Chain A
Amino acid sequence: MRKIYIFFLLLPFSIWSACDKSNDPSRVVIAGGSITEIVYFLEYEDKLVGIDVTSNFPEETSEIPSIGYVRALSTEGILSLKPSLILGEEDMGPPLVINQLKLTGMDLKIINEDRSAQGILEKIECVSKILGITTQERLNKIKNLTRDINLLQSIAKKNEDKDIRIMLILNMQGTSPIVAGQNTSGDGFIKMVGGKNVASNFEGWKPISSESIIAYDPHFIIITERGMSSFSDIESLSNTTALKFTNAAQLGKIYSEDGMAMLGFGVRTIKTALNFAEIFSK
């Protein structure tokens, strides 16, 4: 009988998006940088006993034991921290480890991801509910955030009418930039600020040739700070063959930004998006 029971537990589950209150949120393990950001934002960080390596903001996170990379977790490692609750992003894995965690009867919640301003608010709401934070308390905490979101959305709306063409680069692979296509966090970010993603003809992050970049003709280029690290400054990046013939490079409209602050879709993404929306609206 027990065998059958275990077999059913091992069957893969569909999307686990329960935001129900946890029975015991006293020892929390998190797999996913945006959730860690939210837990810090909600000032619940003293309950954290383990986080993954993508949880690198704020700086204090470095003092919390690391459970490894979000897609390569270890069952025993997580259990050794004796958590009472595990929160994860959708790409938490591998699936076998998640099955094992469920098998142990662990309270595991995988939080839905929607790459928009509204999605971030929903994520905060979901995490608050799980941690047992009252609606009133949450509304107090997100007061400034909702104001920023309203501002962001009004600017983004104006930006949309202006047909602002944006290209977002993750990093340079050799001489080809890795560009955000459809269905990426980069695409979500561009939409948030009211821009148009020039790379609309492919999905995912792909290396793009210099010729296609000239054809895309972006007005603005954003690159992550990590991608920037192989260049001394924006100027030397503008002079690479891949970028130098674009409008953006010639007019000096290339910006770099912290990758997680921009693409993590935690709390910081709102502020970053607001900054960029204002830059693009000028």
Chain B
Amino acid sequence: MSFFSLEQKWFKFVKSSQIKLLAFFLIALISIFFLSVTLGSFDFNLRDLLSRKSDSLDSIVLFEIRIPRVLLAAFVGASLGISGASLQGLFRNPLADPGLIGVSAGAALGASFVIVVGSSFFPEFIFGTFILPFSAIIGASFVISLLYIFTQGFGYQGITYMLLVGIAVNAFASVGIGILTYISTDSELRGLTFWTMGSFGGSSWQLIMPALIIISLTVLWLIPSSRKLDLLQLGEPEAYRLGVDVRRLKFKVIISSAVIVGLSVSLSGMIGFVGLVVPHLVRLLGGVNHNYLLPGSALLGASLMMGADLLSRILIQPAELPVGLITSAIGAPFFLWLIFRIRKS
């Protein structure tokens, strides 16, 4: 199937009002990107900077510190948004979120391991700053393999079974984190606590480049499954009879979510509620078909995450709030409202 034919298919299942909405999301994304790049605790005159092209502190702050950070926030937001949307579609459950299958917990376990016992196990001069993301990705991959083994390659056992496995895996990971918390020293414990609240601070090009490429490729791989996710809403047997290879679809959605969520968590810590709330917001605005929902969730997730990161940087400057606090502070009330709405209808 060539890319062109995919394009045609995509347009066939998106309403023109939805295309307008997507264009609006894109404009919002670009505006927030520029806002995020220009605002921050470190002040400089952007026009001055661009004309001088100097190697001054100003340009280091802009190009080596702020832009990588804003980009990472955007990609993590897009990852969480799109994986939330596709998992909610796959599990046919509006309350599914990327944390549910246990991948975030696995990544968190890997990261905690480095924070607490890291320096004595990994020679730091080899891995350098990659050591924490590296270990988090190992943790996430471990969880993915566990899921794969216990569901026999995401096989025929049905979705509930997979959710239960996810719960068990989550519990297992929290035991690991608990043990690490217990053996940590006071200062490691503080490090751990701050890490779990999430932050985009300290991003550098070397660190984020591989992640940006992998996330982009995975998202492009996932989006063509949209129509199949639509059909899956009729039920697994029905979708199967309509020609959807359900097993392959499950494999694709779970693997891609696991990869992008694992990468996101490994680079930025645990950031709550974005994966859950963003798809709902996109659905409320424009509709439920996945051809619109998946790209919409990615775009809106990126915008919201950049916005949250901007707030975390400027609210109490020169200090910084953990970004996870901001997303949860906004997400939790929305979640309550959502539950309330579902109950009423």
Contact = CB atoms under 8 A, between A and B. Distances in A.
Nearest to B57: A104
25 contacts: A53-B319, A66-B319, A69-B190, A71-B187, A71-B191, A71-B194, A74-B41, A76-B40, A77-B42, A77-B313, A79-B65, A80-B40, A80-B41, A80-B43, A81-B318, A93-B191, A96-B129, A99-B204, A100-B202, A100-B204, A103-B64, A184-B185, A204-B183, A204-B185, A206-B182
Nearest to B194: A72
Given A67-B319, A81-B318, A76 B66 contact: yes
Interface of B: 40-43, 57, 60-61, 64-66, 124-125, 128-129, 182-187, 190-191, 194-195, 199, 201-204, 206-207, 313, 316-320, 322
Given A6-B64, A96-B207, 14 more contacts: A68-B318, A71-B190, A72-B190, A76-B66, A79-B57, A80-B42, A80-B317, A94-B194, A94-B202, A97-B201, A100-B202, A103-B60, A104-B65, A204-B185
A146 to B, nearest CB: 30
Contacts of A100: 64-65, 202, 204
A65 interface: yes
B206 A77 contact: no
A24 interface: no
B35 to A, nearest CB: 15
B191 A75 contact: no
A227 interface: no
Interface string A58-93: 000000011111011111111111000000000101
B129 A76 contact: no
B202 A99 contact: yes
A104 B64 CA distance: 9
Contact of B202 (A67, A68, A75, A204): A75
B206 A7 contact: yes
Contact of B318 (A12, A77, A91, A105): A77
A94 B201 contact: yes
A204 B186 contact: yes
Contact of B124 (A12, A71, A76, A78): A12
Contact of A76 (B194, B195, B313, B316): B313
Contacts of A76: 40-42, 61, 65-66, 313, 318
A104 B61 CA distance: 8
A205 to B, nearest CB: 5
B193 to A, nearest CB: 9
A50 interface: yes
B6 to A, nearest CB: 36
Among B204, B207, B319, the most chain A Cβ lie within 10 Å of the Cβ of B319
Contact of B186 (A7, A68, A205): A205
A25 interface: no
Nearest to A65: B318
Contacts of B124: 12
Contacts of B60: 103-105
A75 B60 CA distance: 11
A11 interface: yes
B41 to A, nearest CB: 4
B125 A11 contact: yes
